[in-house]
Amino acid sequence: MALLILGLVLFFSIHAVTGFALRDRLIESLGEIGYKIAFALIAVLGMVMIVYGFGQADYLSVWVPPHWLRYPTMLCVTLAILLLLVSMLPNNFKRLIRHPMLMAFLISYQPQKAAIYGRAEVA
C-alpha cells in the first residue's frame, strides 16, 4: 500500500510542477528536451509504482451489492453505454433524447439506488 501511495504522490507532484515557476527553472537548467525526458521518466516511474503497488495492496471490500441486482445492473450499464455513444457520435437521436449523456448517467445509477434505498425510483 505504501508503494501505491508513494507512486500517486510522485505522479501527481510531477504534474503539479507544470503550474509553478519551478518548471521554468528546470527548463533553463535541463533544456526543453531534457525537461521533457525527465518529466516523462518520472511520470512513467510513478505510473509503474501505482500499478505495482495496486497489485500488492490488500483487497478491501467496502460494499457488496445484493445478488439479485446483478442482471438489472448489466442491462442498465449496456443501455447507458449505448446512450453515451449516441451523445458522442453525430446522429439524429439527439432530437428524441434531449440529453443522452445525462440519461446514461441516470440509467446507470438506478440499480445502485435500488440497492441503497431498497427500491428504484425515477430520478
What was the pLDDT predicted at 74? 87
Instruction: State the cell numbers at 37.
Output: 525526458
**Number of structural domains in the chain:** 2
pLDDT tens for 23-66 read 888 889 999 999 999 999 999 999 999 999 999 988 887 777 77
d(CA 48, CA 11): 10
95 vs 28 pLDDT, higher one: 28
Same domain, 7 and 51: yes
Residue 62 lies in a domain: no
pLDDT tens for 7-22 read 999 999 998 887 778 8
What CA dihedral angle connects 61, 62, 67 and 68, to 10 degrees? -160
Please report the sign of the dihedral spanned by the C-alpha atoms of residue 117, residue 119, residue 120, residue 123.
Answer: negative
Query: Where do we find the cell 453525430?
Result: 90
Range of the domain at 36: 2-56
What was the pLDDT predicted at 118? 63
Residue 122 lies in a domain: no
pLDDT tens for 59-86 read 887 777 778 788 888 898 899 999 999 8
Same domain, 48 and 7: yes
d(CA 81, CA 101): 9
Residue 61 lies in a domain: no
Same domain, 77 and 44: no
Q: Which amino acid is at 4?
A: L
Same domain, 22 and 52: yes
